Chains A and B, each alone.
Chain A
Amino acid sequence: MNSSTATALTAGGLLASAVATVAIGAYGVRLARTTSDFLVASRTVGVRSNAAAISGEYLSAASFLGVAGLIAKYGADALWYPVGFTAGYLGLLLFVSAPLRRSGAYTVPDFAEFRLGSPRLRRVAMLVVVTVCVLYLVPQYQGAGLALKTLLGVPVWIGPLLVGAIVIVNVVGGGMRSITFVQAFQYWLKLTAVAVPALVLLVHFGTEHPQLGGPLPPTVDRPTTVAVDTDVVVNVVDPAGVSATGPTLDGALEAPGQYTLPQGTTLTLAAGAQTPVVAGAPATGAQWIGNGGGLGGKHPLYQVFSIMIATFLGAMGLPHVLVRFYTNPDGRAARRTALAVIALLSLFYLFPTLLGVFARLYVPQLLITGKSDAAVLLLPVAAIGGLPGALIGALVAAGAIAAFLATSSGLLVSIAGALSTDVLRGRVRDFRLMAVIGGLVPIPLSLAATNLELSRGVGLVFAVAASTLCPLLVLGIWWRGLTAKGAAAGLIVGALSSGLAALVSVTGWVDDAAMRGWPATLIGYPATITVPLAFATMVIVSRLTRADVTADVARIFARMHVPERLGMGVERVPRG
């Protein structure tokens, strides 16, 4: 078993996954004829296939790679990310799913116009939708670059280009109708790809039973060399067996403490040596296994609450998820779909959690550089080894590429749907043009933002979604007093505040230590501030402009909330 065979197997897995995606998409293309097919699959998708498609679309690079990486690095507090990613659907089920479907709208901006009767608000909502989707595409492309670099050693820009090309071809070909098949398939592929290594390692773990929560950092079980390619600060608890060569250090480390490793340093760990851990992450097992340590940076309790707010409410503002609820035949099916999604996600997230734990045991060297997003990809070969390890590694690679493809396809359908119906005339040709443009724009952005962990990046997008579309939907569905001006003001305030926070935290302009760390923490986890701010703006501006409340609000409310059997539903279709 040599490394070139493993690489060939991995490349085969990637290729098979990509080919299957295109082939299933092509099968669906035969069914896609009308604009309604392209936008909402003609509203004929059943509960099961829609739930699998939503889960397939939702489980992105952040879930497939990022969650395990964060758990390996930060331990128990990182468990809040998968919990929140799932809880978002409970919020969606309780507050949004059935009324949103009964509104008969076909995109989120269309819902805004249906509810508040303002074409101008529709355009504001369209801009927000496109912004959220483009921001969300960035971590997907970024994850693709990371995965291909880790697995095949190709330059980092190849991943985004490749994934972008496949997704554009698929979406241009078949729109929503074909995407539904692809995404349902990809849920099951991803589940397999993450469950098999987790279960195999669980057996492995059961026979060896290494210590997890001890007072010491994780140890490497064979001699390991790590090259540092960006400057990093690490904590060393016990320097025995650790040596470094590089611009500032040469030879064995002398004493415990913090070391700055500049770019170009090479760390060598002897078998059994304790791994240095990047500063900010818990170094010892005892710190890692307990809650309350946060996710790097200061004020851990605040971080956890902000993650909860962003993820619980963020799913209600993700346009690519919301648009899938329009494909159900009625409100009842929409509710059942949301519940089935909760079940599918609960099943899925068991495995990245396990893999995160195993990553800390078997590939602790990732903790030195802190780039733990690669953990899931490296784990099978490192921990299982031999031909089985390489085969499972190929399966994981196939799952990872499926994750990028599924989420990116859904996002691109949303971008193209919103732009083609609101900027152009909503013909199939317009949809295709906008899909090409929307797929290309995030590629340069993803190459610029390489330092953010995938789950953190997605967490920021959730904060933007929770501060914009979530209040629009929740207040629009439940509060008669909402006005078009109020909704527009809230969308703009929420988008600007959360978007600026995301931008500043990606670029790292704020000093982490300034003012006891509060500015950096607030900007890194903005939801606690920006979500209430957006809700408050919508309510206050609506109260000030209460004369503008839509005259037929009673009819609109009846249509959203009364069961379909009464025969009030009207399916909206794009003009043109």
Chain B
Amino acid sequence: MTRPGRPQRERVVLAHRRGTRMVHTRVEVQEQTEVGDALVRGLVRAQLGLALRLAAVVAGGMAALPLLNSAFPELAAVTVFGMRLNWLILAVLVYPVMYGVGRLFIRLAEQGERDFMGVVDEDGPSR
């Protein structure tokens, strides 16, 4: 420690090394270079895939209800907890299911965004 300015310079270099990579990837996304655009495409594809999968599950389940009912009308007449099954499902149970799917989507979609930010901010894309 003969010269007082030295530790300061070291710190700047370290931050600089991490910083350039962060700024590079950020700028690639912000300015839509090929790499940046590929990253955004990947994010959009992942989010769309997630939304479509969950929507398919919900829509498929809902569409199955009237079909099941017309194929097996006696099923709807089953009584569960003092309520007919068709009323129990349509008036009560579908609502918590929709809420649960919505919650799951938010969790996974934000996870996807965190992963994306992780790539952009820290490791940098593999080039």
Contact = CB atoms under 8 A, between A and B. Distances in A.
Interface stretch (A11-19, A89-97, A128-136, A392-400): A89-97
Given A87-B98, A342-B99, A350 B91 contact: yes
Given A83-B90, A289-B87, A308-B63, A558 B102 contact: no
Contacts of A567: 30
Interface string B28-59: 01101000110011011001100100110011
Interface string A140-177: 00000000000000000000000000000000000000
A485 interface: no
Contacts of A93: 102, 105-106
Interface of A is mostly: helix
A568 B73 CA distance: 55
Nearest to A77: B66
Interface residues of B, number: 49
Nearest to B53: A94
Interface stretch (B3-11, B13-21, B112-120): B112-120
B54 A94 contact: yes
Contacts of B55: 90-91, 94-95
A555 interface: yes
Interface in B46-95: 47-48, 51, 54-55, 58-59, 62-63, 65-67, 69-70, 73, 76-77, 84, 86-87, 90-92, 94-95
Interface of B is mostly: helix
Nearest to B94: A83
Contacts of A565: 117
Contacts of B36: 558
B28 to A, nearest CB: 10
Contacts of A554: 32, 37, 40
B43 A335 contact: no
A98 B77 CA distance: 41
A350 B37 CA distance: 46
Contacts of A562: 29, 40, 43, 116
Given A557-B40, A558-B29, A558-B36, A94 B63 contact: no
23 contacts: A83-B95, A93-B106, A94-B102, A289-B87, A290-B73, A290-B77, A291-B66, A291-B69, A291-B76, A292-B69, A301-B66, A335-B110, A342-B95, A342-B102, A343-B99, A350-B92, A478-B48, A554-B37, A557-B40, A557-B41, A558-B29, A563-B116, A563-B117
Given A350-B92, A558-B40, 14 more contacts: A93-B105, A289-B84, A291-B65, A291-B86, A301-B66, A305-B63, A308-B62, A342-B95, A346-B96, A558-B29, A561-B40, A563-B116, A566-B120, A568-B29
Interface of B: 26, 29-30, 32, 36-37, 40-41, 43-44, 47-48, 51, 54-55, 58-59, 62-63, 65-67, 69-70, 73, 76-77, 84, 86-87, 90-92, 94-96, 98-99, 101-103, 105-106, 109-110, 113, 116-117, 120
Interface of A: 76, 79-80, 83, 86-87, 89-91, 93-95, 98, 213, 289-292, 301, 304-305, 308, 312, 332, 335-336, 338-339, 342-343, 346, 349-350, 353, 478, 552, 554-555, 557-558, 561-563, 565-568
